[in-house]
Amino acid sequence: MAVVMAKTRAFFALTGRAINEVLSFFVFSILDVLDFILCYVYRVADFLIEAEWKPCYCSPAKEAVMGGGKILVSERSESKVVRLTSSSKLQLEEISDTLYARPSCVAEVSKCTERKRERGRGRSVFAVNAAIVEMLQGKIGGQKFSPIPRWSDCDCEICNSWASSCKETLFVRADGPRDNVQEDVLFIHGFISSSAFWTETLFPNFSKSAKSTYRFFAIDLLGFGRSPKPADSLYTLREHLDMIERSVLEPHKVKSFHIVAHSLGCILALALAVKHPGSVKSLTLLAPPYFPIPKGEQGTQYLMRKLAPRRVWPLIAFGASLACWYEHVSRTICLLICKNHRVWNFITKLITRNRIKTYLIEGFCCHTHNAAWHTLHNIICGTAGKIDSYLDTVRNRLKCSVTIYHGRNDELIPVECSYNVQSRIPRARVKVVEKKDHITIVVGRQQAFARELEEIWKSSKGN
């Protein structure tokens, strides 16, 4: 009987996978065509409403030649040459090729991203997407970008925060003692979230002793929540780290600190720890997106396929695939959700009367497509080749404790990712929380998690 039941389950599982594969092919083939059409729709809309359109990542690549400490970028269809400073080379190296190389289900529409053979002594040629060059030209040339959002972005005070007096720093929610601070804790949220992920869950649940001992900093990352959302930013790792340092470490004179990070924030936490190896007292990572890259695989493309497999089921994988693979479809979703975030917030409050769900909706909706698109590709996908070295540095150079939490039912980042981190850092402790997923690893168990964090910080005092 048991054998028959096992065979039956295996049959249904195989059938379900087959249906998922076939249905996914048809759905994403349609999305490929839709994204192609929307590309031209937005070009027309941008031109009619704003009298200009910015090149998207469907735009033709430009030929870039590096030599003599400068980057020369020439239009393939024109003879003009644009001269960029040597600092732009560093920015180009931080840009993920997944921004403009995403193979279609219908036809190969990805642009050439491989380096070509060396032409001439000391010079190399490679393809650079037009959108990237336009943004770098504006930055390096000192072009002034209007603080007014694009027509498809929200123009409320929160979303237009880069036009305010605090445009050079992130939004920071600080809590704890103002004088006689013993230790500091930095909280970094995940993708399309905000500082409220921490302030509405953990901050109210820390003990009086912890609140008198630790100073807590929860930030809205660049492009999210109440933080600036510059239209000319490429949202690279360097930009995110610089803003964290400028907004927290420098003004508050933070010398040593604990880090608590969730999902995408784990990548920033590791990079920050590597940059400040003598300052980190403990690392607590929740659902770190670490996928070891097999030999022979291109790291950025492999990670994109793992995180966004272009499957209609589970739903969270479908959502990740829409956000990652389709520039114009995701812009449309952002137009519907983020531009109208105040409406969604009102509806959520009206229907649920639930404060927790309300702040989650607020964090999910308060960003721009430009910020989400670039952060997703340049931080999660673009750092695929760097994570190994970050983990090795934490293992070899840092003495801080490393604790990893993961929800057993997390369908976005599998539990194996946390064990992959542990394989790289043997001293790391992995705690798998049963019946919890990517969000409920914190939400719904905030009291217990607050106590656990306090224990981690107490035991790290000797580090």
Summarize pLDDT for 43-93 with one digit per residue, the tens.
Answer: 999 999 988 777 788 865 554 444 444 445 444 444 344 445 545 555 667
Please report which confidence band the pLDDT of residue 160 belongs to, taking 50, 70 and 90 as the band edges.
low
Mean confidence (pLDDT) of the chain: 83
Helix extents (H) in 51-129: 87-93
Q: What is the pLDDT of residue 118?
A: 35
Q: What is the pLDDT of residue 115?
A: 37
**What average pLDDT does this structure show over 134-162?**
64
- Indicate the CATH number for domain 172-461: 3.40.50.1820
User: What is the percentage of the chain residues whose pLDDT exceeds 70?
Assistant: 79
Active site residues: 189, 263, 410, 438
d(CA 410, CA 314) in angstroms, rounded, equals: 11
* Strand pairing class (124-129; 257-262): unpaired
Indicate the helix (H) or strand (E) that contains 431.
strand 429-433
Q: What is the DSSP letter of 14?
A: H
The torsion angles phi and psi of 392, rounded to 5 degrees, stand at: -65, -35
d(CA 86, CA 346) in angstroms, rounded, equals: 48
Q: What is the DSSP letter of 369?
A: H
Please report which confidence band the pLDDT of residue 137 belongs to, taking 50, 70 and 90 as the band edges.
low
Summarize pLDDT for 352-408 with one digit per residue, the tens.
Answer: 776 666 788 888 898 999 999 999 999 999 999 899 999 999 999 999 999 999 999
Please report which confidence band the pLDDT of residue 268 belongs to, taking 50, 70 and 90 as the band edges.
very high
12: Cα separation from own chain's centroid: 36
* ∠ CA 261-203-252, rounded to 5°: 70
Q: Would you list the DSSP string of 318-361? A: HHHHHHHH-HHHHHHHHHHHTTTHHHHHHHHHHHH--HHHHHHH
